Amino acid sequence: MNERFAAMLLSLLGMITTVFSFQMKEKKNLLIFQSIGTVFYLVSYIFADGGVAVLLNCVFLIRNLVFMNTDRLKKSVRYLSCALLCIGCVAVFVRFVLTADLPTSEYFLSFLPVIGGVFGTVAAVNTNVNRLRMLKLGDSSCWLVYNIRIGIGALGGIIGEILNISSIIIALLRFSKNKGTSIS
């Protein structure tokens, strides 16, 4: 099997799992499905030579596992975890810059997933699942642009981020309507 085809297939599996995750009512279930999708994306980026995305997805997997059961902990512990994971995202980028020999424009494009990772990490610390979804819009937007740059090897990522944005909007409307509260 061709590596690009494997990357595309795995990213499509990641896409399906991640898009589905936003329809989960509870944060823990949302993060479980996000973790499964992250594993698929991680391996797809390995096959697609996704650069900084490979290491970032390792951080995201750790992030999801950490924040699955931290809502009942003190805010200070959750926010410290969030800060450390955001620093981890930036550290991954610094390591990437120091070890990769790329044109300057590639470094700027490779910073988009880091920005997305920070959005996603700040989202995961939230106990309000709708606020989590809203912050994930910033995460998905950054990844969409990054995946477009990779091309066909990240086809699942491209389509997935478009569908993620749609799924997030649907979930925000669905769950805020069910509770009779506003999205904000």
Euclidean distance between CA atoms 127 and 129, whole angstroms: 6
pTM greater than 0.95: no
Q: Which element (helix H / strand E) includes 37?
A: helix 27-47
Contacts of 104 (CB under 8 A, 6+ apart): none
Q: Check residue 101 and report its DSSP letter.
A: -
**Predicted confidence pLDDT, tens digits, the chain (184 residues):** 688 888 888 988 988 999 999 999 999 999 999 999 999 989 988 887 777 888 889 999 999 999 988 888 888 898 999 999 999 999 999 998 888 888 888 888 888 989 999 999 999 999 899 999 999 999 999 989 988 886 665 677 788 889 999 999 999 999 986 555 444 4
